Amino acid sequence: MLHVSGITPALSPQAASTLHYAVAAAKAAGVPASFDLNYRSKLWDAEAAGSAYREIIPHVDIVFAGLEEAELAVGTVSDAEEAARRIAAMGPGQVIIKLGADGALAFIDGQLFRQEAMEIDVLDTVGAGDAFVAGYLAEFVEGLGAGERLQTAVRTGAFVCLVPGDWEGLPRRDELRLLGNPEPVSR
């Protein structure tokens, strides 16, 4: 599994070239590649990011994006489903739109999936998107279905929101079941 983040092309022409090489090498080797648009306005402008995204998206298998990030690649859309379908039309078999407190939507091999968010007391959202992607990809490499992948992604992202910092709240696999547990005590 190869995973790349959208900020890479913004760093330098060499980083962009390396990204394209890595994606092509993965594809040639039959290794699935995923791409998280992960737009950062301090690194580059929206037009340049959208152009770079449109170059990369057709060559990857899985795309992750927030709704606003998706619009950089496909233009204004009416909702997350339209964004996912338009990105999928560019080539990837799996498009996952991260919707934060509204959960997630995925368009996978022509089928639509939705996952509600978990109700939590949010302390800090930094790192939630990266944790979401990690949870999804962990289940993808385990061969689990779309529903399980989305459920783990949402739970993993929620865990990170419970503590300050961007990685400090990342759960171990055995901790995922604790979130949303109706029992006040877990033994």
Catalytic residues: 130
How far apart (Å, rounded) are the C-alpha atoms in residues 107 and 83? Answer: 10
Give the bridge partners for 34, in sequence order: 3, 62
How far apart (Å, rounded) are the C-alpha atoms in residues 181 and 118? Answer: 11
**Pick from 152, 158, 155: which is nearest to 138 by CA?**
152
**Pick from 166, 165, 23: which is nearest to 91 by CA?**
23
How buried is 42 (Cβ within 10 angstroms: 0-12 exposed, 13-18 middle, 19+ buried)?
Answer: exposed
How far apart (Å, rounded) are the C-alpha atoms in residues 108 and 44? Answer: 30
